[in-house]
Structure 1
Amino acid sequence: MTQDTTGHDLAELFAAHAVRTRLADLSPGAVAAAQTFLLDTLGVAIAGSSGANVHTVLDLARQWGPGEEATAWLGGQRMSAGSAAIVNAYLIHCLEFDCVHERAVVHPMATLLSALFAWCEREAARGRPVRGDRFLAAMAVGVDTAGLLGVATDSALRFFRPATAGGFGATAAIANLAGFDIVTTRSAFGHMYGQTSGNLQAHLEGSPLLGLQIGFNARGAIAATDLAAAGMQGPLDVFTGRYGYFKLIEQDVHPERVAAVLGQEWQIEKLSHKPFPSGRLTHGVVHGLRDLMATHGFAAEAVAEVVVRAPPLVLRLVGRPDMPDPASNYAKLCLPFVAGVFLARGRCDVPDFRGEALRDADVHRYAALVRLEPDGNTDENTLDPQAVTVRLKDGQALSITLPRIYGHPAVPLTQAENEEKFLRCCRNAVPPVPPARAARVQALVAGIAGLPDVAELVAAVAGPD
């Protein structure tokens, strides 16, 4: 179905959730997950300073919105809140290293945190600092909104949900902090819908526009809440109306799924880490190769073929052919290339997807050994289970079935692994982040619930040292 015939008004449900939620409402697991993925996302953004086109985005964003409202985390330059949101969203997503809600096929934190921090900095400049406990609650609201917009649909991905659903998540989070009532929040959703953008053509071509689309929606969330706060009414039935989100952008909607869990199951607890800086849909082959090599003790040189049996989402979005000289964005979204990186180097890390590493002959030689097959799954929004079979040159065939992929809440990174990823991201930044500043960021995140002004965390992320 494409319209709500169940009696559930999604705009009303999401708005009421945004209005009422405070930190005390969150489960202990949700609070812990918020801190975990806050640190993870800030680390990924710091490493994003090494990404392609970041200085072009920075220079243009400053022209689009000069000012002193908020901070671009790349170099600490000040600009308008909307422009800072664009830069910081791009930093978070440009390495394909940010966390993901797998069932929703949404990277909620990129749009959410870039918009939320910029809005909070602007509030602090106006003498209205935002406390850390309120910030954590707003994060949970934003992830619930973005995540459940994805969970509510069974339709195949046609638009880029991290941008489209992410914009509504950021809008809900800002509405929570701004103290909006339900009507004003619904109006803000309407203004966000008018700016919603994000196509999959950028994903198909590996274009840097992919991360920019997240930034555009982050900026849109700030503008949407500003318009609503000023009293301008936006359209109200934006999700299930005749020309609403679930008619034009998504289809096959099931609003009852949202009603059943909103405020009961915190979607921030369902986020998956990205242990590798590549499309999440490429992680299964790395997980499978890692475990098979550890269990059976064979070297990469012994591999004759790698066969990955996976759901249609995997084949459609990352089953693209290897290219001899790929752009970084393309390589991160090419499963054969990512498998080739792991076989050639025994790792998948930030330096493996830039510069001369993209043209490494060994990587491409191993990538040519990878073959993808459909597994018969009919779910258009799942990445698992996956099966990886390695055929060795001596004739052995070794297989592993992965019900969940490393990084999923069922196969999570440990706290030590999360912290190691953050510190590795700091070392991969350009220039590298000094250990003292990295430790400062970690300490502020650990104590964020008692932080009187979250803008203090932005200052630590952006420097100077």
Structure 2
Amino acid sequence: MSDDLAQAFAEHAVRVRLSDLSPGVVTAAKTFLLDTLGVGIAGSSGANVRTVLDLAQQWGPGDEATAWLGGRRMSAGSAAIVNAYLIHCLEFDCVHERAVVHPMATLLSAIFAWSEREAAQGRPVSGARFLTAMAVGVDLAGLLGVATDSALRFFRPATAGGFGATAAIANLAGFDVATTRSAFGHMYGQTSGNLQAHLEGSPLLGLQIGFNARGAIAACDLAAAGMQGPLDVFTGRYGYFSLIDPDVHPERVTAALGREWQIEKLSHKPFPSGRLTHGVVHGLRDLMAQHGFTADEVAEVVCRAPPLVLRLVGRPNVPDPTSNYAKLCLPFVAGVFLAKGRCDVPDFRGAALRDPDVHRHAAKVRLEPDGNTDENTLDPQVVEVRLASGARHAITLPRIYGHPEMALSAADNEEKFFRCCRHAVPPVPESRAVALRDLVARIETLPDVAAIVALLAGTD
């Protein structure tokens, strides 16, 4: 059977040029490029980053690309692993909510590494080409998630993300349709990403994104060398949708390609925790502002949410969680906000994970199903608070703060970026942060995007 989705995706990947992108798409691309660079910088403070850096350099020594942490040079594939881990390890990177995909982590780590390798060989990648590839990659990753109604069984940011990165590289490399389809086949052979790592709060979660970023580079190298990959990789008998996300609706893809750019549908993460925990923080923030009660007056918090929320972040609060577990535990995240009036990077590491005030407030939080049957949505949500006085207050959230319909402003996006730079280890000097912001703002004029990496890693 011919894989019409593979054909449609490949045609889209090779066809798109910067002139096809509306001003809104270009603005969204710059917004989430800056956001992703910021969270990658802050990721230098995350758990296990030095271990990942050292091992990746052993796995792929060389002088092709740069690890953003410390500026070490290594193979393009290894740099992609390190940088993907930096982007995702804090759970602070943007998300396509309907797709349940973090497309930028896999995408940017892969295409920056590939672009650096190209520059080293005398073929620099311009900012205009890079922006175009970003839009293509987010389309592929996002629409793979949008196309399915299946409950999440694999870690879609990794599995779908790898195909997004492959499509983006195909666009940059000037592949034809046949070569692009072959690259998809080689990517499918390397696709990985399980939810057990998510359930246990394992650092493998971010590494899975890195493995697929490396896989995208290898897939495109294999296809460019003329090695044929399988072709019917999406809707074939043993294809992606048959084995990973079986409840597929291909018409959603064909209706959207080239018409609805998925990069405009990305949501910010205003807090460094699982996106599915953000509703309770949003609700508590607004209820406390509206009704003037304090955290110590709260006797109970009930969050009524769709099944995806309960299944992925409805885990029990534990007394000494790992950083990864805490970020994906809704009661803990709510406890952080109640105890500190914020949710920021330092609140999910070291002694903060054992803060007795956080755990005291977390014990007040419970989740209830809301009757929604959609397995891939995080809203609407209802947050209800019962005070020690007996008073009750509730709020219904049709959308969660950070969604495109409740987006961060341009100023808020910049504030998050500069805050992330201050959270880096070591902190990024403000002058370098400002220069990086300004470089992203004029990326379409850059003759070589490797300049962004040099500034990012402090090797310029």
Per the normalisation by structure 2, the TM-score is: 0.99
Q: Contact between 2:301 and 2:366, CA under 8 Å: does it hold in 1?
A: yes
> How many Å apart are 1:464 and its aligned residue?
4.0
Residue of 142, 166, 176 corresponding to 2:161: 166
- Equivalent position to 2:418, from 423, 431, 440: 423
Matches of 2:21 and 2:259 in 1, distance apart?
A: 9
Whether 1:76 aligns to 2:71 is yes
Equivalent-residue separation in structure 2 for 1:158 and 1:440 (angstroms): 41
- Mapped to 2, the partners of 1:155 and 1:437 lie a distance apart of 44
Q: How does 1:25-424 map to 2 (within 5 A)?
A: 25-424=20-419
Please say if residues 151 and 376 of structure 2, whose CA atoms lie closer than 8 Å, have aligned partners that are also in contact: yes
Q: Structure 1 stretches (4+) deviating beyond 2 angstroms?
A: none
The 1-side partners of 2:275 and 2:257 are apart by: 25
* Unaligned stretches of 5+ residues in structure 2: none
In 2: Cα distance, 1:45 partner to 1:14 partner: 28
* 8 Å CA contact 1:8, 1:255 repeated in 2: no
Residue 452 of structure 1 aligns to a residue in which SS? coil
Query: Could you report, residue by residue, the CA deviation over 1:226-255 in whole angstroms, capped at 9, with x for unpaired residues?
Result: 000000010000000000000111111000
Structure 2: which amino acid aligns with 1:340? G
3-state SS of the aligned residue for 1:264? Answer: coil
Query: d(CA) in 1 for partners of 2:244 and 2:376?
Result: 15
Question: How far apart are residue 8 of structure 1 and its match?
Answer: 7.1
1:14-36 deviation line (CA, Å, top 9, x unaligned): 10000010111012111100000
User: CA offsets per residue over residues 326-373 of structure 1, 9 Å max, x none?
Assistant: 000000000000000000000000000000000000000000000100
Distance 1:201 1:91 in 2: 20
Q: How many residues end up aligned between the 2 structures?
A: 460
Whole-Å separation in 2 of the counterparts to 1:23 and 1:458: 21
Amino acid aligned to 1:144: D
Question: Could you give the per-residue CA deviations for residues 135-191 of structure 1, whole angstroms, max 9, x where no partner exists?
Answer: 000000000000000000000000000000000000000000000000000000000
Structure 1 length as normaliser, TM-score? 0.98
- Aligned counterparts of 2:397 and 2:456: Cα–Cα separation in 1: 36
Aligned counterparts of 1:393 and 1:384: Cα–Cα separation in 2? 28
CA contact (8 A) 1:8 1:259 kept: no
Which one of the candidate residues 8, 14, 31 is aligned to 2:9? 14
**One-letter amino acid of the structure 1 residue matched with residue 440 of structure 2:** V
Deviations 1:56-103 (A, max 9, x none): 000000000000000000000000000000000000000000000000
Q: What are the Cα deviations for residues 292-320 of structure 1, in whole angstroms up to 9, with x where unaligned?
A: 00111111010000000000000000000
Q: Distance in 1 between matches of 2:435 and 2:427?
A: 15
* Cα distance in 2, alignment partners of residues 343 and 140 from structure 1: 38
Gaps of 5+ in 1: none
In structure 1, distance between residues paired with 2:4 and 2:382: 40
Q: Secondary structure in 2 aligned to 1:389?
A: strand
What is the root-mean-square deviation of aligned Cα atoms in Å? 0.8
Give the secondary structure class of the aligned counterpart of 1:268: helix
Alpha-carbon distance in structure 1 between the residues aligned to 2:23 and 2:264: 10
Letter in 1 for 2:376: N
Measure, in 1, the Cα distance between the counterparts of 2:356 and 2:424. 26
CA displacement, residues 417-444 of structure 1 (integer Å, 9 cap, x when unaligned): 0000000000000000000110111011
For the residues of structure 1 that align with 2:23 and 2:369, how far apart are their CA atoms?
39
Partner of 1:463: 458
Report if the CA contact (8 A) 1:86-1:212 is conserved.
Answer: yes
Note if 1:444 corresponds to 2:442.
Answer: no
- Alignment check: 8 A CA contact 2:3 2:233 kept: no
Distance (whole Å) between structure 1 residues aligned to residue 426 and residue 256 of structure 2: 43
Distance in structure 1 (CA, Å) of the matches to 2:3 and 2:73:
43
Give yes or no for contact 1:309–1:386 (8 Å, CA) kept in 2. Answer: yes
1:432 paired with 2:398, answer no
How many angstroms apart in 2 are the aligned matches of 1:413 and 1:8?
39
Amino acid at match of 2:273: S
Q: Deviations over 1:31-62 (max 9, x none)?
A: 10000000000000000000000000000000
Amino acid in the other structure paired with 1:100: V
Identity in percent = 83
Give, in whole Å, the separation in 1 of the partners of 2:191 and 2:169. Answer: 16
